[in-house]
Structure 1
Amino acid sequence: MAKTLGPVKRKFSPWTDPSATPFIRFENITKRYGDFIAVDNLTLDIYEREFFSLLGPSGCGKTTLMRMLAGFEEPTEGRILLQGKDLAGVPPYRRPTNMMFQSYALFPHMTVEKNVAFGLEQDGLPKADIAARVGEMLRLVKLESFAKRKPAQLSGGQRQRVALARSLAKRPKVLLLDEPLGALDRKLREETQFELMDIQHTLGLTFLIVTHDQEEAMTVSDRIAVMDRGVVVQVATPAEIYEAPNSRYVAEFIGDINILEAQISAKNGEVLTPGHPPVVRLQSEGLAIAVEQDCAAAVGASVAFALRPEKVRISLDQPTGRDVNIAHGEVWDIGYLGDFSLFLVKLDDGRILRAAQANVSRLVDRPITFGDMVWLSWPADAGMVLTR
Structure 2
Amino acid sequence: MKSLGNIRRSFAPWTDPAAKPFISFKNVTKRFGDFTAVDDLSLNIYHREFFALLGASGCGKSTLLRMLAGFEQPTAGEIILDGTDMAGTPPYKRPVNMMFQSYALFPHMTVEKNIAFGLRQDGMSKDAIGERVSQMLKMVKLEQFASRKPNQLSGGQRQRVALARSLAKRPKVLLLDEPLGALDKKLREETQFELMDLQQNLGLTFVVVTHDQEEAMTMADRIAVMSHGKVVQVATPAEIYEAPNCRFVADFIGDVNIFDGKVVSADGTSVELAVDAGLTIKVATSDMPAKGSSAGFAIRPEKLRVTRQPPANPTVNASSGELWDIAYLGDMTVFHVKLKNGQVVKASSLNAQRAVDDPFTYDQDVWVTFAEDAGVLLKD
* TM-score calculated relative to the size of structure 2: 0.96
**2:275 aligned with 1:284:** yes
Task: Note the aligned Cα RMSD (angstroms).
Answer: 1.2
**Structure 1 pair 121/364, CA: closer, same or farther in 2 (3 Å)?**
farther
Which ranges of structure 1 fall in alignment gaps of 5 or more residues?
A: 1-7, 270-277
Corresponding residue number in structure 2 for 1:301: 293
Whether contact under 8 Å (2:120, 2:129) holds in the other structure is yes
Alpha-carbon displacement from aligned partner over 1:258-304 (angstroms, at most 9, x marks no partner) = 011111110114xxxxxxxx111111111111101111421111111
**1:1-388 pair list within 5 angstroms:** 10-269=9-268, 278-285=269-276, 286-363=278-355, 367-388=359-380
1:366 Cα offset (Å): 6.8
Whether contact under 8 Å (2:22, 2:83) holds in the other structure is yes
- Give the AA of the match of 1:327: S
Corresponding residue number in structure 1 for 2:3: none
Structure 2 residue matching 1:19: 3-state secondary structure = coil
Whether contact under 8 Å (2:266, 2:289) holds in the other structure is no
Alpha-carbon displacement from aligned partner over 1:334-354 (angstroms, at most 9, x marks no partner) = 122111011000112211011
In structure 2, what is the Cα distance between the partners aligned to 1:231 and 1:176? 19
1:9 Cα offset (Å): 6.8
1:320 Cα offset (Å): 2.0
Alpha-carbon displacement from aligned partner over 1:71-101 (angstroms, at most 9, x marks no partner) = 0000000010001110000000000000000
In structure 1, what is the Cα distance between the partners aligned to 2:335 and 2:217? 24
Corresponding residue number in structure 2 for 1:273: none
In structure 2, what is the Cα distance between the partners aligned to 1:23 and 1:366? 57
In structure 2, what is the Cα distance between the partners aligned to 1:41 and 1:369? 52
Alpha-carbon displacement from aligned partner over 1:227-246 (angstroms, at most 9, x marks no partner) = 00000000000010000000
Alpha-carbon displacement from aligned partner over 1:110-145 (angstroms, at most 9, x marks no partner) = 111110000001111001100110011111111111
1:256 Cα offset (Å): 0.2
In structure 2, what is the Cα distance between the partners aligned to 1:118 and 1:129? 13
Whether contact under 8 Å (2:295, 2:378) holds in the other structure is yes
- Give the AA of the match of 2:298: A
Structure 1 residue matching 2:9: 3-state secondary structure = helix
In structure 2, what is the Cα distance between the partners aligned to 1:366 and 1:209? 46
Report how many aligned residue pairs link the two structures: 373
- Give the AA of the match of 1:381: D
Structure 1 stretch 315-324 or stretch 151-160: which is displaced more?
315-324
* TM-score calculated relative to the size of structure 1: 0.94
Structure 2 residue matching 1:142: 3-state secondary structure = coil
Structure 1 stretch 188-197 or stretch 368-377: which is displaced more?
368-377
1:374 Cα offset (Å): 0.6
Structure 1 residue matching 2:372: 3-state secondary structure = coil
Structure 1 residue matching 2:24: 3-state secondary structure = strand
Alpha-carbon displacement from aligned partner over 1:294-342 (angstroms, at most 9, x marks no partner) = 1142111111110100000111111224431001111111122111011
In structure 2, what is the Cα distance between the partners aligned to 1:82 and 1:302? 43
Corresponding residue number in structure 2 for 1:4: none
In structure 2, what is the Cα distance between the partners aligned to 1:255 and 1:365? 30
- Give the AA of the match of 1:126: S
Structure 2 residue matching 1:113: 3-state secondary structure = helix
Whether contact under 8 Å (2:279, 2:341) holds in the other structure is no
Alpha-carbon displacement from aligned partner over 1:167-216 (angstroms, at most 9, x marks no partner) = 00000000000000001111100000000001001100000000000000
Structure 2 residue matching 1:114: 3-state secondary structure = helix
In structure 2, what is the Cα distance between the partners aligned to 1:313 and 1:284? 19
In structure 1, what is the Cα distance between the partners aligned to 2:358 and 2:138? 48
Whether contact under 8 Å (2:279, 2:316) holds in the other structure is yes
Structure 2 residue matching 1:21: 3-state secondary structure = coil
1:251 Cα offset (Å): 0.3
In structure 1, what is the Cα distance between the partners aligned to 2:19 and 2:8? 16
Structure 2 residue matching 1:11: 3-state secondary structure = coil
